[in-house]
Amino acid sequence: MHISEGVLSPAVLAAGVILSAAGVAMGLKKMSADRMPEVAVLSSAFFIVSLIHIPVGPASVHLIMNGLVGVLLGWMAFPSILVALTLQALVFQYGGFTVLGVNTFTVAAPAVTAYYLFSCAIKRNDNSSLTALAAFCAGALGVGLAALLLVLALVTTGEVFINVAKLIAIAHLPVFIIEGAITAFCVLFLKKVKPELLN
């Protein structure tokens, strides 16, 4: 989900910065001091899982766990993901600083969407099967929307990226299922051992 430097047009880069800045501002507004450790732990988890890349042609796929981050943090997913992506760009040269806005929005906006669509079903449901289904959908939707936004950013930049965009969309199909399953497992585990994190 990391778009590299020098790929996107200035208009797409500017839109990414504006949208991500708005999301980060909203996330910081909702963040309290007692939630900072949780945000930091989820930033670390996102940082680690998205370091493992599987090459697919000119691109690569990896887990991002933004559905889980979104369900647990809501709007705070924006600053959490921004910090992780900044560290990845700084330490490992994944993505880059000019594309940080687009990369942040691509991953964090689906996380917030998953929060609004599935967090109530996860938090208020005592049926473990329905909770697992909602969590699976949150994980799958998170990576699915992120892949769609990535494709949109590439296609908006120019027709030369259409074939790469198609390849990225197809390559992420198995990741939907894996992300959904891992998110469901994590949510069910948290519901048993630390249910207050879901509330």
pLDDT tens for the 199 residues of the chain, in order: 667 777 888 999 999 999 999 999 999 999 999 999 999 999 998 888 887 767 665 556 678 899 999 999 999 999 999 999 999 889 887 778 899 999 999 999 999 999 999 998 888 877 888 999 999 999 999 998 998 898 888 888 777 777 777 777 777 788 888 889 999 999 999 988 888 877 7
Task: Look at residue 3 and tell me if it is in a domain.
Answer: no
Q: In the prediction, which pLDDT does 58 show?
A: 56
Instruction: Kindly provide the residue ranges of all beta strands, DSSP E only, lying in the chain, ordered along the sequence.
Output: 54-56, 59-61
What is the C-alpha to C-alpha distance for residues 6 and 187, in angstroms, rounded to an integer?
Answer: 38
Task: Look at residue 1 and tell me if it is in a domain.
Answer: no
Q: Whole domain around residue 90: which residue ranges?
A: 10-198
Task: Look at residue 177 and tell me if it is in a domain.
Answer: yes
Q: How far is CA 188 from CA 89, 109, 134, 142, in A?
A: 32, 24, 11, 18
Number of structural domains the chain divides into: 1
Question: What type of residue is 187?
Answer: V
Q: In the prediction, which pLDDT does 51 show?
A: 77
Residue 20 main-chain phi, psi, to 5 deg: -70, -40
DSSP string, 25-77: HHHHHH--GGGHHHHHHHHHHHHHHTT--EEETTEEE----HHHHHHHHGGGH
Residue 127's domain is classified under what CATH number?
1.10.1760.20
Residue 44's Cα: distance from chain center in Å?
13
Task: Look at residue 48 and tell me if it is in a domain.
Answer: yes
Task: Look at residue 2 and tell me if it is in a domain.
Answer: no
Task: Look at residue 22 and tell me if it is in a domain.
Answer: yes
Task: Look at residue 4 and tell me if it is in a domain.
Answer: no
Q: In the prediction, which pLDDT does 55 show?
A: 67
Q: In the prediction, which pLDDT does 197 show?
A: 78
